Structure 1
């Protein structure tokens, strides 16, 4: 049995190591893909607490360096960081090959796709180009067990999307920031344009009809290249097991869409037994650790 976890830990997880470790331990995962692993000290500490090996896509200096990490209790056979600036906006596509308990090799790919939902067609096309490059790289593993996981910032075909909930969540911010002393800001200091925008958004969110229209017409802004992965033969693990369940992963505190995925190659799909978001840990909610819910999957090793 091999348990996989894909988890966007939000801007490095700095000052949230305890919360993250409690949520991760709930999954009892053998392999963990960490998106936004921008703080190497957090990765090292999590690996230490979980008694795991780890691979980093790089050692960034800033919270938005968008690094990736894979933690595993299984032996690492080899790893590689694919960096294609013209294809991957966030630079990295992490590949790690491990040895499973049955002695067979399993290759894992981890990705964090661009969001930029406000640009609609532009960001949509960028995400599709990213998936096309991912598929080109993974082509060399065709016929061998492998999976690709991470935060794809894209909707799967047919999945619902509630932009109104996401806006409500954003307006309720800030989120997951270190405690700061209160600094009252006179209303006059806030730019007029921002005040008008917030007023307009709050007015929209107070109307059920306006929210319904917003949810309907904003869906194309969150599309990407999930269909390309499906057409290439990869299995959307959650949707495969739960065809009629939403399975939302973001935002953790107010789930409104499913943008975190684990995709399995055909050789691995036959071993899939479980896949679901994790909503809580020991005496805490997952929303206390990150703005994404972690997604777990279990594969039963062939005899």
Structure 2
């Protein structure tokens, strides 16, 4: 049995709006509730903070080995990371300047059955304020990642890809009004102070050419009727291309187990969509026994008390789910409501 958790812990586990306060204990409660063997982190390391890393504190508390993702080359950007209790066979960092915003972290571990398992941790570009250009950026990143993983596919070696994809899956629901209200509420609390704290702000999601509409969006956020219309329009507008590229080659673990559930992961305080995933190659997916979004941690701690994303946990046993066919992940339909 191998338990995997994919988790965007927000700005390296620090609350920059609270003078850099650590969220180590809150994150521990979420992670410990799943008893994982491997945890992959998006926004795992915050280069703006000096001193002991929250991810190192998490690894020490859980008796795990920490592997840091490579630096991004941008001090304002976050690094990926992975921690595991399994023996580490190898580590590789795939830097592709000009293609990948953040280097792809590759870690090969030895499972309890003695077999090697290769895990890739990603954090794709957001670039939401670039509209469809942002979708093309993520698609270019995904094409490169698929190239990097191609030898493992060709050799039939078990591997998986997990992290924050900043993209919806085709046909997945999207409650855009929840995200809009969340961003408007955060901006009001910021009082127009610019703070790179990992949380979205309205300029980060609205393209420059459309920012004259921001007052209108604030009005939309106050109206239930307008929010329903906004949700309908956003459902068809939301870019989904990078997840579509995985179709037929990798299995969306959550959607495989839960064909009709929403599975929203972000924002944790007002879930609007599913952008955090665990994808497994078909060989590994045959062993998939369960996958779920972690809503609460130990002592009932709500997920939004630990991060702005909810974690995704998957478990792989000897066997798999016998009553659900291994179909391409994007062919499952989730009704929009």
TM-score range relative to shorter protein:
0.7 to 0.9
The counterpart of 1:173, out of the listed 162, 186, 197, is 186
Distance 2:171 2:308 in 1: 23
Distance 1:122 1:239 in 2: 27
How many aligned positions are there? 284
> 1:190 maps to which residue?
none
Displacement of 1:196: 8.3
Displacement of 1:198: 6.0
> 1:262 maps to which residue?
278
> 2:296 maps to which residue?
280
Moved more, 94-103 or 112-121: 112-121
Distance 2:144 2:214 in 1: 38
Asked if the contact 1:278/1:296 (under 8 Å) is kept, the reply is yes
Q: Any idea what SS the aligned residue of 1:213 has?
A: helix
Distance 1:212 1:287 in 2: 24
Distance 1:165 1:222 in 2: 17
Residue 230 (structure 1) aligned with residue 252 (structure 2): no
5 Å matches for 1:1-303?
1-14=1-14, 15-39=22-46, 41-58=53-70, 64-88=76-100, 90-142=101-153, 143-173=156-186, 199-219=215-235, 220-231=237-248, 233-283=249-299, 284-301=301-318
Displacement of 1:200: 2.7
Distance 1:70 1:279 in 2: 21
Q: Any idea what SS the aligned residue of 1:23 has?
A: helix
Q: Any idea what SS the aligned residue of 2:227 has?
A: helix
Q: Which sections of structure 2, spanning at least 5 residues, go unmatched?
A: 15-21, 47-51, 191-210, 320-337
Asked if the contact 2:294/2:310 (under 8 Å) is kept, the reply is yes
Displacement of 1:60: 7.2
Moved more, 39-48 or 264-273: 39-48
Asked if the contact 2:72/2:103 (under 8 Å) is kept, the reply is no
Displacement of 1:215: 1.7
Asked if the contact 2:10/2:43 (under 8 Å) is kept, the reply is yes
The Cα RMSD (Å) is 2.3
> 1:188 maps to which residue?
none
Q: Which sections of structure 1, spanning at least 5 residues, go unmatched?
A: 178-194
Displacement of 1:201: 2.6
> 2:196 maps to which residue?
none
Moved more, 274-283 or 71-80: 274-283
Asked if the contact 1:159/1:246 (under 8 Å) is kept, the reply is yes
Q: Deviations over 1:114-169 (max 9, x none)?
A: 11222222011111111100100000111110000000011111101111100111
Q: 1:38 to 1:285 in 2, by over 3 A?
A: same
Q: Any idea what SS the aligned residue of 2:314 has?
A: strand
Asked if the contact 1:6/1:295 (under 8 Å) is kept, the reply is yes
